[in-house]
Amino acid sequence: MRRWYVVMTKPRQEQIALAQLTRQGYESYLPIVSERRREQGKYVNKRVPLFPRYLFVNLDTAVDNTAPIRSTVGCCGLVRFGLRLAYLPSGVLEWIQARCREGESRRRQASWMPGRRLDVLDGPFAGLDAVFAAASSHDRVIVLLKLLGASRPVELPQEHLRAV
């Protein structure tokens, strides 16, 4: 019976292990998500593994040889509970894949429509209500803030805002 088993990788070598397992003919999957990180004073979107140090391989342990996995470049071996190999219950991997695809499509599309009410969470305008006007760049947006008795356009980092 084919199941998705859990493979532990060496630190930050998930991509290498995935490539090597695929090269050896194993069906493998590494869930990747976009994460917003601050590097050198700027926010950047990085694609990182959903489960650092882990990936999944589809095996039928009655037919497939699992011994080469532990000596594959980037791999530590299959995760075990005693003598039993750790595997995902049926449907779980498909659910993970759907969530990763959903996150990718959500990231690609515009987060807010013009006129959407937002809360300012951080920065000098924290606590004020804002209205989304337009996207300025990949990480900044233009919002309308009620300042000095009138709505004024202000450009803010997207991470400082949350939809109401």
Q: How confident is the model over 2-47, as pLDDT tens digits?
A: 999 999 999 999 999 999 999 999 999 999 988 777 788 777 778 8
Q: What is the pLDDT of residue 104?
A: 65
Say if residues 49 and 31 touch (Cβ distance below 8 Å): yes
Q: How confident is the model over 46-91, as pLDDT tens digits?
A: 889 999 999 999 999 999 999 999 999 999 999 999 999 999 999 9
Q: What's the rounded Cα separation, in Å, for the pair 80 and 64?
A: 17
Say if residues 161 and 120 touch (Cβ distance below 8 Å): yes
Say if residues 96 and 40 touch (Cβ distance below 8 Å): no
Please tell me the pTM assigned to this model. Answer: 0.66
Structural domains in the chain plus CATH codes: 2-108 (3.30.70.940), 117-163 (2.30.30.30)
Mean pLDDT of 132-144: 84
Say if residues 58 and 27 touch (Cβ distance below 8 Å): yes
Q: What's the rounded Cα separation, in Å, for the pair 12 and 153?
A: 42
